[in-house]
Structure 1
């Protein structure tokens, strides 16, 4: 039955993930958009931890070495609803966006190895901002509209295997692809034609990630986990075109192009440095688990004709600290359903690697930080499947230096379907 559901769902969702608007953050205006590391809903609910974590039926998008511990074929998909409150000065604005977060399949290979593959977004662009300019008398003189849409997705395949009793290694290969469109439309009072700058970019690139995990059984059924991943440096190539033209604004909000003022080719790359994640965890099997994780990456480099497109931002070193875990009262409880529910929680502090100058002069940059608190529930279904709910409350950015502060509430939902697909049938 599960396999029939998978076929139908894959046909419906495989194109939906690539076609939707997945973001409403003003910070997605910069670079390749708002970046996020692929994680399952279960991982997000625990503050984003995962490099040292493994489970026999849950997928792990952080460390390919965790595939070695899969004992069941697991299909998972997740969705996100983001409620955003934007603060700038004394003004507030609210927005909501909904998107599909991932489609993935993992399965064991023998007793000591596993493989997973999937499709996930890794950055998104989706903003629409209006800036009104007034004269000394308070009369409207000009309107500037900033719009952007698109993002980058990735397909990946990862393999993990145990090389010793307590030690596993893994490798992941992925290919990123997508398109981003940014535009700035300016209309000045008493000028018949508006002007519009538009940039259409196509982005492509591949990457390799290596991972390791060590698991040691202690006394009283306790176990100690340690893990590390290293995503090798890679390039995201950017090709496209930029246009500057005059236009007439239509009554339905669309634009009617008039004269092309200039056009040219965009050709450059985002050089992504080595990204490393280290973590350690302690727990008791199917009872509780607690983990601490640290992620670090040097500043992204912008090369080619992209380097001078926007002097209002720059990239810097990024890092993240996460602390989280889960508690499962009694996995085989008969008397209480809620004793079989998995309760998850975590906290995360992240230096995003983006620095923005609110004045636009290119001389006064402010680091954009992100802080979030999360919790979630793993609701068991029949057999080995689960519905996972996750809630996250956080703040990104600041109102100082003419910038924007985002207060967000994320609701995540996933379905994890597990089944034994490749077991040999026994004949009595």
Structure 2
């Protein structure tokens, strides 16, 4: 069997595994806004948390379109993610597991080292939560007149289909443009199970199902300045990169179904409310990074990103209490000898990083922060590789936010470099 066929069947197996999982682990923190953002990181980025400033030759530069010009070969990448989350509260301790396809992306040079284009499909946000808790109905005097069981659940999220292009302006300066089509449904269900009353002899269920569909375009600009041969260090490189994603206005339609049903499922009352031609406003964001490295041997870097969600609007409503979010990362990667023939271990690339992030929402009127440790490695096979990354962390804390969530994520993917779409020249 040829090498290309082996890689093809391997990629097919990776996608099949992702389809078996099919859903991310549940998290109560996905209830806010349009869900939890996935970001644009590929597995090699997840390993050390970097990607805005650090150029890559053997991996697709997805986080900053200006870095695409460093992909002088055609590159195809597919990745999956599996995760475990544990949510702890004063009286609750819930664990959930899940996984899904993380991305399918590819890039190929239009003019090697001058112009490179990329297309891809990957999640943009995720919504997946479910709560159940007891509650009471009280009369004007405060006396309990009925008991009920409340349930809240949500599912869905947005997907992005993107097209990016990177262009080299000078030996040191590159720029890029990303165009993404965002689309997807989000469904939230709120229900109360009420006991029998004098007017209703049997228990019944009151529910509100809220279905929202969104679609629209989002654009981003990237830049990179990369300086080789620093003084007498001919093989060292200093790079600075930045990305600005413009605000997006997504066309939005919403259907609310309010129903009262018996426990047997018979509808007692139902009302449908349809809203069309509404808008969801997603605020712009900015990322900046700097990295320093030696050839293909090692690199270290730090990045910072910020997004102000106070301008977020959904179906014409205001920011729903959202504020500013930010993320800062410190990380690096190391390869003993990328060209070593006598030792496979020396050609393995290892990555390590740490990330501190503040989310735009409040829990118990307090800011929610996330601290995570990243680790990853790539196993080379010719010009291609199998890529792994792990991330463990915790966000929120019970003292300030009532609940805290610990998580462990495992990323696995394949990177294939070849000369597809490149016209070969013969002397």
Is residue 391 of structure 2 the alignment partner of residue 392 of structure 1?
yes
1:355-387 Cα distance to aligned partner (Å, 9 max, x none): 23x4xxxxxx22222111110111112x11111
Answer whether contact 1:168 1:212 (CA < 8 A) is retained.
yes
Distance 1:267 1:25, change over 3 A: farther
- 2:280 maps to 270
Pick the aligned partner of 2:361 from 350, 354, 378: 354
CA contact (8 A) 2:166 2:177 kept: yes
Gap runs ≥5 in structure 2: 138-145, 197-201
Instruction: Output the CA distance in 2 between the equivalents of 1:305 and 1:52.
Output: 36
Q: In the superposition, relative to structure 1, how do residues 30 and 274 fare at CA in structure 2: closer, same or farther (>3 Å)?
A: closer
- Is 2:379 the counterpart of 1:368? no
The offset of 1:266, in angstroms, is 6.3
Deviation string, structure 1 residues 309-338 (Cα, Å, up to 9, x no partner): xx9x52101111111110001112223221
Q: Structure 1: which 4+ aligned runs deviate by more than 6 Å?
A: none
User: Does residue 225 of structure 1 match 2:239?
Assistant: yes
Any conservation in 1 of the 2:72–2:109 contact (CA below 8 Å)?
Answer: yes
For residues 85-234 of structure 1, the aligned pairs below 5 Å read 85-111=86-112, 112-133=114-135, 141-190=147-196, 191-217=202-228, 218=230, 219-220=232-233, 221-234=235-248
The CA distance in 2 between the partners of 1:409 and 1:425, in whole Å, is: 45
Which deviations, in whole Å up to 9, do the C-alpha atoms of 1:15-64 show, x marking residues without a partner? x87x94334111112221111211101101112x1111111221122100
SS at match of 2:309: coil
Number of residue-to-residue matches in the alignment: 409
Q: Decide which of 325, 328, 336 is 2:332's aligned counterpart.
A: 325
Relative to 1, partners in 2 of residues 1:285 and 1:166: Cα closer, same or farther, differing over 3 Å?
A: same
Equivalent residue of 2:169, what SS?
Answer: strand
RMSD: 2.8
Contact 2:82-2:99 within 8 A present in 1 as well: yes
Deviation at 1:159, TM superposition (A): 0.5
- Does the CA-based 8 Å contact 1:153-1:178 persist in structure 2? yes
Q: Is the 8 A contact 2:253 2:276 kept in 1?
A: yes
Label 1:161 to 1:263 Cα distance change in 2 as closer, same or farther (>3 A). Answer: closer
In the TM superposition, residue 424 of structure 1 has moved relative to its aligned partner by 4.2
- Which residue number in structure 1 is paired with residue 48 of structure 2? 46
Q: Which residue of 1 aligns with 2:199?
A: none
TM-score, with structure 1 as normaliser: 0.88
CA positional deviation for 1:302 = 4.0
Cα distance in 1 for residues equivalent to 2:28 and 2:345: 40
Gaps of 5+ in 1: 359-364
Q: 1:257 to 1:341 in 2, by over 3 A?
A: farther
In structure 2, the residue matched to 1:240 is: 254
Alignment-derived partner of residue 142 in structure 2:
none
Q: 1:95 to 1:279 in 2, by over 3 A?
A: same
